Amino acid sequence: MTKNYLSTVIILLVMLFFSFQSYAGNNSSSVIEDEMAVNFDESEIYSSFDQINDLVNYVSENEDVTYSSIMAEDNLLVENVSSSAAMVLNTATNDDPTVVGAFWYGCIFSAVGIIAVSVVTGNDPVQVKKAITGCIVSTIVIPIIYIGVEIFIAVYGY
């Protein structure tokens, strides 16, 4: 009974997986969209940056000017410019390792990950501690998963 139930669940999950794959494949572009992507107007791209280039030139000529002071003057240079994208970039710190966090470096790469985090962050104790925590968690979790799979195989005979 359990074997039939498990086989039925596996077949249903495989069917669900393939149906999602077929839906994902339907997002193909049309010939017109492909031609628009290949034959784009380069001057349109450069003209869209004209306002930003004017603002950059103004700020580089006047070194004591800030974005806030230009906004206070209600200058036409910042009429269509938003500072929200720049704020997102300013919150990033250089202490974090690239791509994934320090925890995942320690979790995935173990001792090598701890060394990599230490080198990349300049031996930042907070980041190294996160990497060590990741290493400890993976050292505990992987054997538990392995033992669980072995018990499952022994019980159900797969």
Cα three-residue angle 27-30-31, rounded to 5 degrees: 150
Q: How many CB atoms lie within 10 A of CB 75?
A: 14
Each residue's pLDDT tens digit in the chain (158 positions)? 567 777 788 888 888 777 776 665 555 556 676 676 677 777 877 877 777 787 788 878 887 887 778 777 766 767 666 655 554 444 445 555 566 788 989 999 989 999 998 888 888 888 899 999 999 999 999 999 999 988 988 888 76
Beta carbons of 131 and 95 less than 8 angstroms apart: no
